[in-house]
């Protein structure tokens, strides 16, 4: 369960760094979904939370290198009963329990993900922030975020491949560049 107080220390940095995280296509791939077990044409509920451990490890690498990045779940997993809690549990089961401490919220339900992200930012961020949208949805769906300023980034992940080291390096490079521009401590 997401507690609004989780990550309070993350919010005390001079410029918040927020990662809007999609899950399907980012932390899993079609090959991972092929591993689901079916019993009488019904998916076994024990296999429905498909997260690729390697992709999750890449996310953890980003969080280790930039410990002030907070995660906001923008994935459709937020629509599932206990979806975010199941994601957190799956992270823990795969050996990454500390990811829970980085999750500070989820976007509100809306018609389009770009609007959900905008609504979340408007409701939860005062002042400047650097945010990233990590998603396998085609970037044109996020055009307003791309056009809105240099500190906002959409990182398009190929949903057939999932998160890659390249994506993590790209985000890290942008964070480091922005931190250097502002004279902040890493």
38 part of a folded domain: yes
pLDDT given at position 151: 44
Distance CA 13, CA 126 (A): 12
pLDDT given at position 179: 81
4 part of a folded domain: no
Distance CA 74, CA 158 (A): 17
**Closest to 51 (Cα-Cα) out of 18, 2, 86:** 86
Pairing of strands 16-21, 42-43: unpaired
pLDDT given at position 165: 96
CATH of the domain at 165: 3.40.50
Q: What is the strand order of the sheet 69-73 is part of?
A: 103-106, 69-73, 16-21, 129-135, 152-156
35 part of a folded domain: yes
pLDDT given at position 148: 52
46 part of a folded domain: yes
Indicate the pTM of the whole model.
0.82
Distance CA 71, CA 54 (A): 18
Question: How many structural domains does the chain have?
Answer: 1
Enclosing domain of residue 15: 10-182
Pairing of strands 16-21, 129-135: parallel
126 part of a folded domain: yes
pLDDT given at position 107: 95
pLDDT given at position 143: 58
User: Taking the C-alpha atoms of 162, 125, 144 and 142 in order, what is their torsion angle to the nearest 10 degrees?
Assistant: 20
pLDDT given at position 80: 81
Nearest-Å Rg of the Cα atoms of the chain is: 16
As beta bridge partners, residue 72 has 20, 105
Place of tokens 């959409």: 154
Sequential pLDDT tens for the chain (186 residues): 555 554 454 444 468 999 999 999 999 988 888 776 555 555 444 555 688 999 999 999 999 999 999 999 999 888 887 889 989 998 998 899 999 999 999 999 988 888 899 899 999 998 888 888 999 986 556 655 455 554 457 888 999 999 999 999 999 998 888 888 877 655
**Closest to 99 (Cα-Cα) out of 135, 52, 67:** 67
**Closest to 47 (Cα-Cα) out of 34, 59, 57:** 34
78 part of a folded domain: yes
5 part of a folded domain: no
Distance CA 164, CA 19 (A): 16
pLDDT given at position 97: 93
1 part of a folded domain: no
pLDDT given at position 68: 93
H or E segment to which residue 8 belongs: none
């Amino acid at each position: 369960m997401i507690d609004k107080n989780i990550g309070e220390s993350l919010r005390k940095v001079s410029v918040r760094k927020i990662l809007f995280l999609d899950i399907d296509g980012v932390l899993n791939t079609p090959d991972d979904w092929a591993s689901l077990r079916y019993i009488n044409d019904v998916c076994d509920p024990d296999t429905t939370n498909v997260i690729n451990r390697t992709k999750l490890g890449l996310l953890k690498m980003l969080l280790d290198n930039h410990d002030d990045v907070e995660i906001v779940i923008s994935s459709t997993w937020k629509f599932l009963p206990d979806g975010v809690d199941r994601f957190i549990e799956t992270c823990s089961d795969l050996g990454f329990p500390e990811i829970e401490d980085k999750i500070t919220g989820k976007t509100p339900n809306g018609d389009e993900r770009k609007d959900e992200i905008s609504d979340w930012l408007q409701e939860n961020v005062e002042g400047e922030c650097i945010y990233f949208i990590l998603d396998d949805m085609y970037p044109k769906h996020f055009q307003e975020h791309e056009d809105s300023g240099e500190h906002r980034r959409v990182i398009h992940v190929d949903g057939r491949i999932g998160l890659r080291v390249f994506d993590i390096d790209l985000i890290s490079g942008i964070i480091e560049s922005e931190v250097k521009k502002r004279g902040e401590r890493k």
